[in-house]
Amino acid sequence: MENKRGSSNPVFAKIERDIVDVQGYGASYKGITLKTLLLLLLVVVSGVASLLLLVNYPNVFIALFFVAMILGFISVMIASASPRLAPTFSIIYALCEGMWLGTLTLIVSLAIPEFPVAFVAVLVTLGIFVAMLVLYSTKLVVASSRFRRVMFGISFSIIAVFITVGIVSLFDNGALWYAMFGNAYSPLVLFITLLLILYGSFMLVINFDNAKMIVSTGADKKYEWAVSLGLLVSIIYIYVQVIRLIIIIYARTRRD
């Protein structure tokens, strides 16, 4: 069965040419779900372990934290580019991100002790996930070729903006970065954060459609990892942006 829409993602373009003929050995929704849950579990376990390491061995933790950041970035690049290596590097990515997210959540929770930051962030992220799944399942939002092109264009635009602002901020003592992303009292920062959450939400639609594609075409089960990794990246991205939104709302409320 041929996917008429095509894909600009090299991994999923290859899926269209790598169909499994033996029924029962292809990708399934169950396999994608189980792998996604496994990766999420590894994120949680790694996050809890990182907090214990931080409390008992702070010096060791600081070194591992920066190693994990670099290793996580490398892992997701390799896993996204190579379905064969995706299982191993998806797991490594989940463990690295767990350490980073655990630390982020702890810092924000300590800064806002009277507010259940982790619980609210998880609840909102889950709500967004379910809402987008319903919108996709009911075809109120369709991942057409045009939709994909627009989303990937936005992705590159976001990356370009972050890089440009980062470079400019090296020469203006971080003023531009603070104005666009750091000033919790600025309506612009609030607006940008909401847009980034909206962007992450619509990226979930592409993840859902990728899952549908590999299942409907009978692609090899190894591609389940590529879809699960995509879902994990989107979920983590939304969670981080929700954390930022909580900080902004809390700061604005305290000022008022």
> 150-153: long-range contacts at Cβ-Cβ below 8 A with a sequence spacing of 24 or more?
151/199, 151/202, 151/203, 151/206, 152/8
Domain boundaries, the chain: 19-255
Which residues neighbour 147 within 8 Å (Cβ) at sequence distance 6 or greater? 141, 205, 206
CA-to-CA dists, residue 94 to 147, 169, 233, angstroms: 28, 30, 9
Q: What is the pLDDT of residue 16?
A: 47
Percent of the chain exceeding pLDDT 70 equals 89
What is residue 185's predicted lDDT score, i.e. its pLDDT? 80
Contacts of residues 178-187 at CB distance under 8 Å and 24 or more positions apart, as own/partner, are 184/247, 184/248, 184/251, 184/252, 185/251, 185/252, 185/255
pLDDT tier for residue 256 given thresholds of 50, 70 and 90: low
> What is the band of 162 on the pLDDT scale with cuts at 50, 70, 90?
confident
Q: Report the percent of the chain where pLDDT is more than 90.
A: 50
What is the pTM assigned to this prediction?
0.86
CB atoms within 10 A of CB 252: 15
Tokens standing for 62?
């600081």
CA distance 66 to 62: 7
Let me know: does 45 contact 91? Beta carbons within 8 Å.
Answer: no
